[in-house]
Amino acid sequence: MDLSNSNVSENVIIDLSNSNVSENVIIDLSNSNVSENVIIDLSANEIRKQKYIEQKEQYINRIKIESVNMICRQTDYTEEEAREKLEKNNYNYKIVLNEYFGIKESHVIEKTTNQQIYGEIRNLMDDGARKFRKEKEQAEAYEKYMEKAKFNENVK
């Protein structure tokens, strides 16, 4: 639709909501003498998109308000302090609560399967060496005890 050479001095309303237009519609009004409001209704999809965006924004705002309220209930922060802490942590309430209660995250380093296998083998080897050493020490202590016992029998 080209209105470039028209002399329009009243409201222009173009309603394409019931049409089978699936691509973008470009209307060139650059050379026209349009002196009043121009209203272009492209489709009902645009209205749905706007409503969806508004609902999404309302949902996000509700979540933010509830997060602030939850932080205020569980801590002694004021609403302003809670909002500041949440904004600082991108509204992650777990980080704010952990910070308040002094809980630090522990970072567990994941081991590969190969590291786990060799770790278990090493533990078994260490346990075996430890048991062998204890048994050897016990055997030596028993032999010393027996020698003392024989020596004491011979002395009597």
| DSSP run (H or E) holding 98 | helix 93-101
Q: Summarize the confidence of residues 112-132 as an average pLDDT.
A: 96
Domain total in the chain: 3
Residues 137 and 93 in one domain: no
Q: Could you tell me if 100 and 116 lie in one domain?
A: no
Query: Does 67 share its domain with 48?
Result: yes
Q: Are residues 51 and 96 in the same domain?
A: yes
Query: Looking at the structure, do residues 96 and 114 belong to the same domain, yes or no?
Result: no
| 125 membership: H or E segment, kind and range | helix 113-155
Q: What is the pTM of this model?
A: 0.44
Domain of 75?
Answer: 43-107
Q: Are residues 26 and 77 in the same domain?
A: no
Over residues 7-29, the pLDDT tens digits come to 444 444 555 555 555 445 555 55
Residue 2's pLDDT is 47
- State the DSSP code for 156: -
Q: What is the pLDDT of residues 60-117, one digit of tens each?
A: 999 999 999 999 999 999 999 999 999 999 999 999 999 999 998 888 889 999 999 9
Could you tell me the CA-to-CA distances from 129 to 122, 132, 138, 143 in Å, in that order? 10, 5, 14, 21
Q: Are residues 126 and 94 in the same domain?
A: no
